Amino acid sequence: MALLAALREIAGEGAVLTAPADRAAYETDWRQLSHHEALCAVLPQSTAEVAAIVKLCAGEGVKIVPQGGNTGLVAGGVPAPGGNQIILNLRRLRQIRALDPVGDTITAEAGATLHAVREAAARANKLFPISFGAEGSAQIGGIISTNAGGMQVLSYGSTRAQVLGLEAVLADGRIWNGLGALRKDNTGLDLKQLFIGAEGTLGIITAATLRLYPAPSAQACALAGVADVAAALELFTRLRHQCGPALTLCEFIDGPAMQLGAAHTPGGRLPFGAPAYVLLELSALDAAATPAATLERLLGETLESGLTQDVVIAQSTREAQGFIAMREAVPEGELREGGAVKHDIAVPLAAIPETVAAIEALVAEKYPDCRLNVFGHLGDGNLHINIRPPAGQTLASLATRKAAITADVEALAVARGGSFSAEHGIGQFRLPGMRAHKSAVDLDLMRALKAALDPQNLFNPGKLLPEKDHI
């Protein structure tokens, strides 16, 4: 096939994978729920190669699915039905181009993993604050394209807040160099914002300049047991008031989710049983500060008042990492134990207890055989509401009810002023939510941008925007 020969000419013989067995991992999403064939997976090594591939595909009318670490949870980085598409995986484009310790910036190529960027920052005694369980595989291009959140949004903001500059390949194959590192630049529209959270539908990100922060000089981590989500919220608001931005992590994990996380963490062991858990971290820049003592004092007060039922303060970095690992293992545990109908809602903080109560009532009334897991980024109002099949059954057993479950959960969040997709994006799986909850004006604006930047609908078809006929 002429297209494949031309792709090999651009990226090299070994960089164009065509055999079904070689393509399979690129065509299947992390949750193993979506699989559609691509003509090939191509792995370019430079921005120039990406640009040449885009020009070639534009000329041939072949669609492009940009892909990073393929850890997305909404099937945005794998092909949708429709054929005539290639997967463009960025993992070989992974150089750290520069680190500026004075300006506190790092410039990394799109395929650098989140972990690699965090490590490069740490070697310079800096912090890149986006962090979550899949950071060993998720890539810079992927986290920017999904505007990923994670566990420290509370203090530092989501990925959007970290991006100072971008380099991207446009639908006509031109390279847009917007790799500025300035914190202030009011010279017209802030074009990089178009590509952040666009899920690969408007251009292919090839590099980014990201904001760094001083690495904390001391940190303390604790696990607290609470009666329910209302107590967890009260604990958060109290600590936030007392510690301000030094409270760098505050995760809610209900009992069933935490047990799943512990069971799927090597050496995982819960220090105490509780109906629900809050994972906390305090950070300090001042070398003289003692966050462990502060946490001990403040959590001691909550024990006395009965707000918390039990508290353990990690006595070592290893113990702290163990607590975080159990929280991070929850999605993997769900996947290994039959999967879940997953949701990623956000609601105003004050509405959290009532939203969780409404979801518990919904499951009890309409889906009583299912098991509910609730965990998430408490301080962001972002909860993962995961509804698992009855014990011993796989997700397939919920096939006929899945769409109704999701519509119910998402409607509950939106009715409370919330979002049906807080940090994972839309991909393919959240398209019904776009149809149900986005206004015609929202969708028209998004379609106008798509038409202006990608008139041939070359990039990532079948993602993010529902077909017009279906609204």
Ligand X SMILES: Cc1cc2nc3c(=O)[nH]c(=O)nc-3n(C[C@H](O)[C@H](O)[C@H](O)COP(=O)(O)OP(=O)(O)OC[C@H]3O[C@@H](n4cnc5c(N)ncnc54)[C@H](O)[C@@H]3O)c2cc1C
Stretch that binds ligand X, among 200-208, 257-265, 290-298, 397-405 (CB under 6 A): 200-208
Among 460, 462, 465, 466, binds ligand X (CB under 6 A): 460
Among 44, 76, 79, 261, binds ligand X (CB under 6 A): 76
Site string for ligand X, 145-184 (x = CB under 6 A): xx-xxx----------------------------------
The reply on whether position 261 binds ligand X by CB under 6 A is: no
89 phi and psi angles, rounded to 5 deg:
-95, 130
Tell me the residue type at 44: P
Choice between 331 and 433, CB closer to ligand X? 331
Question: What is the Cα–Cα distance from 69 to 102, expressed in whole angstroms?
Answer: 30
The reply on whether position 333 binds ligand X by CB under 6 A is: no
The token pair at 307 is 């707000």
Stretch that binds ligand X, among 73-81, 309-317, 432-440, 447-455 (CB under 6 A): 73-81
The reply on whether position 116 binds ligand X by CB under 6 A is: no
Segment 298 to 317, residues that bind ligand X, using CB under 6 A: none
Among 77, 79, 225, 291, binds ligand X (CB under 6 A): 77
Q: Least distance to ligand X from the beta carbon of 158, Å?
A: 7
Q: CB within 8 A of 371, min separation 6: which ones? A: 256, 387, 388, 389, 390, 391
Q: Least distance to ligand X from the beta carbon of 33, Å?
A: 13
DSSP code of residue 468? G
Among 253, 423, 429, 431, binds ligand X (CB under 6 A): 423
SS3 41: strand
Among 44, 72, 322, 466, binds ligand X (CB under 6 A): 72
Choice between 278 and 298, CB closer to ligand X? 278
The token pair at 8 is 């090999």
Question: What is the Cα–Cα distance from 90 to 110, expressed in whole angstroms?
Answer: 6
What is the distance of C-alpha 377 from the center of its chain? Answer: 12
The reply on whether position 107 binds ligand X by CB under 6 A is: no
Q: CB nearest ligand X: which residue? A: 142
The reply on whether position 252 binds ligand X by CB under 6 A is: no
Q: Least distance to ligand X from the beta carbon of 384, Å?
A: 8
Q: Least distance to ligand X from the beta carbon of 463, Å?
A: 6
Choice between 268 and 308, CB closer to ligand X? 268
Q: Least distance to ligand X from the beta carbon of 136, Å?
A: 10
Choice between 270 and 422, CB closer to ligand X? 422
What is the distance of C-alpha 75 from the center of its chain? Answer: 12
Question: What is the Cα–Cα distance from 142 to 50, expressed in whole angstroms?
Answer: 16
Q: Which helix (H) or strand (E) holds 356?
A: helix 352-366
Q: Least distance to ligand X from the beta carbon of 341, Å?
A: 16
Pick the closest to residue 17 from 95, 89, 77, 113 (CA basis): 89
Is residue 446 within 8 A of residue 406, CB to CB? The reply is no
Mind giving me the DSSP string for 152-168?
A: THHHH--GGGGEEEEEE
The reply on whether position 71 binds ligand X by CB under 6 A is: yes
Q: Which helix (H) or strand (E) holds 17?
A: strand 16-17
Choice between 145 and 283, CB closer to ligand X? 145
Q: Least distance to ligand X from the beta carbon of 262, Å?
A: 16
Q: Least distance to ligand X from the beta carbon of 301, Å?
A: 30
The reply on whether position 345 binds ligand X by CB under 6 A is: no
Q: How far apart are the first and last CA of the chain?
A: 38
Is residue 26 within 8 A of residue 70, CB to CB? The reply is yes
DSSP code of residue 144? H
The token pair at 15 is 């960089």
The reply on whether position 73 binds ligand X by CB under 6 A is: yes
Q: Considering just the CA atoms, what is the radius of gyration of the chain in Å?
A: 22
The reply on whether position 30 binds ligand X by CB under 6 A is: yes
Positive/negative CA dihedral, 154, 157, 162, 168: positive
The reply on whether position 110 binds ligand X by CB under 6 A is: yes
Q: Say how many C-beta atoms besides its own lie within 10 A of residue 187's C-beta.
A: 7
Total residues binding ligand X (CB under 6 A):
37
The reply on whether position 138 binds ligand X by CB under 6 A is: yes
Virtual torsion, Cα 439, 444, 450, 452, nearest 10 deg: -150
Among 38, 80, 108, 143, binds ligand X (CB under 6 A): 143
Residues that bind ligand X (CB under 6 A): 30, 66-73, 76-77, 90, 110, 132-134, 138-139, 141-143, 145-146, 148-150, 199-200, 204-205, 331-332, 423-424, 427, 460, 463
